[in-house]
A and B are shown apart, each in its own frame.
Chain A
Amino acid sequence: MFKKILIANRGEIAVRVIRACRELGITSVAVFSDVDRTALHVRKADEAYHLGPAAASESYLNIGKILHAAKQSRSDAIHPGYGFLSENPQFAQACAGAGVKFIGPTVAAMEMMGSKTRARQHMDVAGVPFVPGTSKGLASAKEAEQVAAKIGYPVMLKAAAGGGGKGMRLVNRSAELKAALEAAQSEAQRAFGDGEVYLEKAIINPRHIEMQVLADEHGNTVYLGERECSIQRRHQKVLEEAPSPFVDEDLRRRMGEVAVRVAKAAGYTNAGTVEFLVDRDKNFYFLEMNTRLQVEHPVTELITGLDLVHLQIHVAAGEKLPFAQQDIRIRGHAIECRIYAEDPDNNYFPSPGKITLLLAPSGPGIRRDGGMYEGWTVPMEYDPLLEKLIGYGTDREQAISRLVRAMNEYFLGGIKTNFSLFRRILNDPDFRAGNVDTGYLDRLMQAALPAAPGNDAGIAAIAAGIFAALEPGTATAADGHAPPRNGAHPAPAASGWKQTARVEALK
Chain B
Amino acid sequence: MTYDVTIDGRNFRLELDHADARWHCRLDGREVHLDAVVARRDVLSLLIEGKAYEIKRERMATDMHLWVGNARYAAELRDPRSLRGRKTAAEDEQGPRKITAAMPGKVVRVLIREQDEVEAGQGILVVEAMKMQNEIKSPKKGIVQKLVVREGDNVNPGDVLAVVQ
Residues of A within 8 A of B (CB): 349-350, 352-354, 356-357, 359, 377, 380, 407-408, 411, 413-414, 419, 423, 452-454, 456-471, 474-485, 487-498, 500-501, 504-505
Contact = CB atoms under 8 A, between A and B. Distances in A.
B77 A475 contact: yes
B58 A457 contact: no
B151 interface: no
A458 B27 contact: yes
B21 interface: no
Nearest to B130: A380
Interface in B56-113: 56-64, 66-71, 73, 75-79, 84-85, 87, 89, 92, 96-104
B102 A498 contact: yes
B149 interface: no
A504 B131 CA distance: 10
Per CB-CB distance, the 7 closest pairs between chain A and chain B, nearest first, are: A480-B98, A498-B102, A456-B68, A461-B12, A463-B55, A460-B73, A494-B102
Contacts of B104: 352-354, 377, 380
B36 interface: yes
Overall SS of chain A's interface: mixed
A402 B34 CA distance: 31
Nearest to B106: A380
Determine the main DSSP class of B at the interface with A.
strand
Nearest to A468: B77
B56 A411 contact: yes
A459 B68 contact: yes
Contacts of B3: 464-465, 468
A478 B62 CA distance: 7
B144 interface: no
A380 B58 CA distance: 21
B5 A492 contact: no
Contacts of A460: 7, 55, 66, 68, 73, 75
B137 A496 contact: yes
B119 interface: no
B154 to A, nearest CB: 8
Given A353-B156, A463-B44, 8 more contacts: A349-B130, A460-B66, A463-B55, A464-B64, A466-B46, A483-B85, A494-B100, A494-B101
Nearest to B8: A457
Contacts of B1: 465, 469
Nearest to B138: A493
B87 A501 contact: no
Contacts of B48: 459, 462
A461 B78 CA distance: 11
Contacts of A488: 89
A186 to B, nearest CB: 22
A325 B49 CA distance: 58
B147 interface: no
A467 B44 contact: yes
